[in-house]
């Protein structure tokens, strides 16, 4: 049920993609404390203008049913930014992250909802 949707202006090569997605999946599962079998990761490459300039940047949308308390959000922000900086050379000040706690009845899966 945790989901991270990443939009970035940086191209991720085919060689890099598997390891990068796996790293994001592990970060989400470990920080939120949910089984990784429920984690979904999506990545879209798109031009991003931030602070009036095109360039390396990213927006991450993190959603979960519970588990997103202030400490977890701070930990996720630190780890996601570190991964983006080390793997894609995106400066921390060009990354925005949105966190959304979704009620279980608003999250569908396997022909039903979690609520």
Query: Which residues are designated catalytic?
Result: 2
Residue given tokens 């706690």 in the structure block: 101
Q: What's the distance, CA 10 to chain centroid? A: 15
Taking the C-alpha atoms of residue 38 and residue 2, their distance in angstroms, rounded to an integer, is: 7
Taking the C-alpha atoms of residue 15 and residue 12, their distance in angstroms, rounded to an integer, is: 8
Taking the C-alpha atoms of residue 87 and residue 38, their distance in angstroms, rounded to an integer, is: 24
Q: Is 33 left (phi over 0), alpha (psi -120 to 50) or beta?
A: left
């Amino acid at each position: 049920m945790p989901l991270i949707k990443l939009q970035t202006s940086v191209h991720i090569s085919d060689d890099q993609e598997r390891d990068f997605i796996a790293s994001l999946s592990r970060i989400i599962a470990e920080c939120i404390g949910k089984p990784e079998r429920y984690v979904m990761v999506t990545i879209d490459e798109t031009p991003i203008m931030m602070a009036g300039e095109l360039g390396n940047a990213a927006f991450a949308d993190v959603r979960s049913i519970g588990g997103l308390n202030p400490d977890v959000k701070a930990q996720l922000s630190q780890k996601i930014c570190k991964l983006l900086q080390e793997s894609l050379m995106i400066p921390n000040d060009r990354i925005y992250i949105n966190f959304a706690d979704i009620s279980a009845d608003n999250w569908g899966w396997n022909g039903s909802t979690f609520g």
